[in-house]
Amino acid sequence: MNIPTKKLKSGFELPVYGMGLWRYSYLQGIDETEDDQEIAAIQDAINKGITHFDTAEKYGQGHSEEILGKAIKGYDRSKLLIATKVAGENQNYDDLNRSFEASLKRIGTDYIDLYLLHSYPRPGIPIQDTMKALDNLVDQGAIKNIGACNLTPNRFKEAQKYTKNKLVCNQVHYNVQYREIEDKGVLDFCQKEDILLVAWRPVQYGKIKEAKLLTELAEKYNKTPMQVAFNWLISQRNVVTISKTNSIAHIDENLGSIGWSLSDEDIEKIRKEFPDQKLASDAVPLDYEADCKP
């Protein structure tokens, strides 16, 4: 399947659906019990046309990157878009370089397509330092594009101020139920400033499929509730998504979210009427308090 992309004026583009490689078990550290299943899922995803894979040095203490490295051996690297992230505590100049080299090694590649700040640098690390390190790696050709995660518009602008390269995306918690980024102006900001918004946790661990509104719309469009939930995200301007699944059946289901669109009325209906909406992420709420400090 040829997955459509969303493209910025700069020419940078991301497929509307990519695969995330974080799993719940990583909260406990390294867990190898699902490795074989995950490698098989990544390879199945590549065979079906998924190209964007999202990992991080923090996921399973780097184990997620190792799994990705094993899975992509033998595939054409130039056809893949690999995104990984540097943790907030590793964002001073030297630490960032060390983190980056370690990620390359674990993935078994000599460049990263999209290198993301996993958060704003931890207090005490000047953002200027972080952005200088990123610019240097872009100059060397080791990073193709830079982006960030979980940033308020103010912090995004602050990071952008100290780099000559465009921050192409903001990766944030967004789905039919979790609406912090609408409430705090992140979606508007990304749409106005030509930034891609990468929605993480798009199906809230699969929990949202029971919602009556989704089942009604699924019936109307002859799709599944999950497909309606994904389609709602990617029908919106500048929004793409990444989801994690080890299940080949779920990869097929999720790819069925692509190639059609909810009507504008139904997009708005979900926006207004989806029950029990949350205006702060339950996992990584945007840091508005810190944002207001000088």
Interface positions with ligand NAP (CB under 6 A): 20-22, 54, 118, 149-150, 171, 200-206, 226, 242-247, 250, 253-254, 284
Between 136 and 256, whose beta carbon lies closer to ligand NAP?
Answer: 256
Between 136 and 215, whose beta carbon lies closer to ligand NAP?
Answer: 215
Closest residue to ligand NAP in the complex (CB): 20
Between 141 and 290, whose beta carbon lies closer to ligand NAP?
Answer: 290
Between 22 and 274, whose beta carbon lies closer to ligand NAP?
Answer: 22
Coil/strand/helix, residue 292: coil
- Least distance CB 19 / ligand NAP (angstroms): 8
- Least distance CB 209 / ligand NAP (angstroms): 6
Gap between the Cα atoms of 189 and 187, Å rounded: 5
- Least distance CB 165 / ligand NAP (angstroms): 19
CA 79 to chain CA centroid, Å, is 18
- Least distance CB 124 / ligand NAP (angstroms): 21
In contact, 148 and 167? CB cutoff 8 Å = yes
Residue 247 CA: distances (Å) to CA of 3, 26, 36, 243, 251: 19, 18, 12, 12, 6
List, in sequence order, the alpha helices (H) in the chain.
Answer: 35-47, 63-72, 93-107, 127-139, 153-161, 180-183, 186-192, 212-221, 225-234, 248-255, 264-273, 288-291
Between 94 and 207, whose beta carbon lies closer to ligand NAP?
Answer: 207
- Least distance CB 139 / ligand NAP (angstroms): 25
Gap between the Cα atoms of 60 and 108, Å rounded: 17
